[in-house]
Amino acid sequence: MSRFVGARVVVVGGAGGIGGRIAERFTEEGASTVVLDLAPRTEAVVGVPAPRILPCDLVDAATVETAFDRALAELGGVDVLVNSAGILARGSLLELTADRWDLVMNVNARGTLLAMQHAARAMIAQGEGGSIVNIASMAAKAGGNDEGAYAASKGAVVALTRAAALEWGEHQIRVNALLPGYVLTDMGADTRTPEDVAAWSKKSPLGRLGTPDDVAGFALFLASRDGSYLTGQAFNVTGGMIMH
């Protein structure tokens, strides 16, 4: 398929497991793609040329601005933004420090806001609408046992998604969130055991964990013309682990 010929796509967190596959699939379908990431590992992104994989620390607003300036200059504008950067933080709420909370919120929630602002300003100036896809998490709805700060940050992403959809709809900018379940990537790999994989797999009626491709396929659908009447939504991509 070639749904994105001529489209200009920015994937924040595009050197990660899910973001990397999203960037790869947009490129396969004809898009010009720029990846922004804290760790701009060129080997992690298939199909995107190295000069289009740029450093960006979402915690540092100045580097986000510089990275977007470079991305917009490289692409000549932006039609699609995917926010896939994120960090997981495990630990009980009773032990959670203010610094840890700030870091998780700054990367996952404030970082999503900063990227959306840069992209939306450009989309509004272009006057041709656009699509923003934010990767939240099932934790936004399910609570997140032992990952309360992460769950709260993803809840903020869902609320931001809805607020942005309301504000920017008049500019034909659609904003949606995806809520993945448990996807096999580097995230959480340091503590993952075979028992965890088996237990989580059983939570899905499909009996398996998610893959980056499961999430990427839906992200591309949302950004495509087929998603033209979808905005302000939070879609579960969990293999049925949650159904509300």
Ligand X SMILES: NC(=O)c1ccc[n+]([C@@H]2O[C@H](COP(=O)([O-])OP(=O)(O)OC[C@H]3O[C@@H](n4cnc5c(N)ncnc54)[C@H](O)[C@@H]3O)[C@@H](O)[C@H]2O)c1
Enzyme catalytic residues: 150
Is 33 a binding residue for ligand X by CB under 6 A? The answer is no
Q: If we measure between CA atoms, which residue out of 183, 154, 5 comes closest to residue 83? A: 154
Q: Determine, following the binding rule CB under 6 A, whether residue 17 of this chain makes contact with ligand X.
A: yes
24 touching ligand X, by CB under 6 A = no
Using the rule CB under 6 A, is 135 a contact of ligand X?
yes
Two structure tokens written together for 139: 């934790």
Q: Of 164, 61, 158, 74, which is closest to residue 109 (Cα–Cα)? A: 158
Binding status of residue 238 toward ligand X by CB under 6 A: no
79, 86, 130, 147: which one binds ligand X (CB under 6 A): 86
Selected binder of ligand X within 37, 79, 147, 214 (CB under 6 A): 37
Q: Using the rule CB under 6 A, which residue among 24, 29, 57, 214 binds ligand X?
A: 57
User: From the CB of 232, what's the least distance to ligand X, in Å?
Assistant: 19
Q: Does residue number 239 form part of the binding site for ligand X (CB under 6 A)?
A: no
Kindly state the smallest distance separating residue 146's Cβ from ligand X, in Å.
Answer: 14
| Nearest-approach distance from CB 178 to ligand X, in angstroms | 8
Q: Which stretch binds ligand X (CB under 6 A): 51-59, 91-99, 116-124, 196-204?
A: 51-59
> Which CB, 128 or 146, lies closer to ligand X?
146
- Within 163-182, the residues that bind ligand X by CB under 6 A are 180, 182
What is the contact surface with ligand X in residues (CB under 6 A)?
Answer: 13, 15-19, 37-39, 56-59, 84-87, 107, 135, 137, 180, 182-183, 185-187
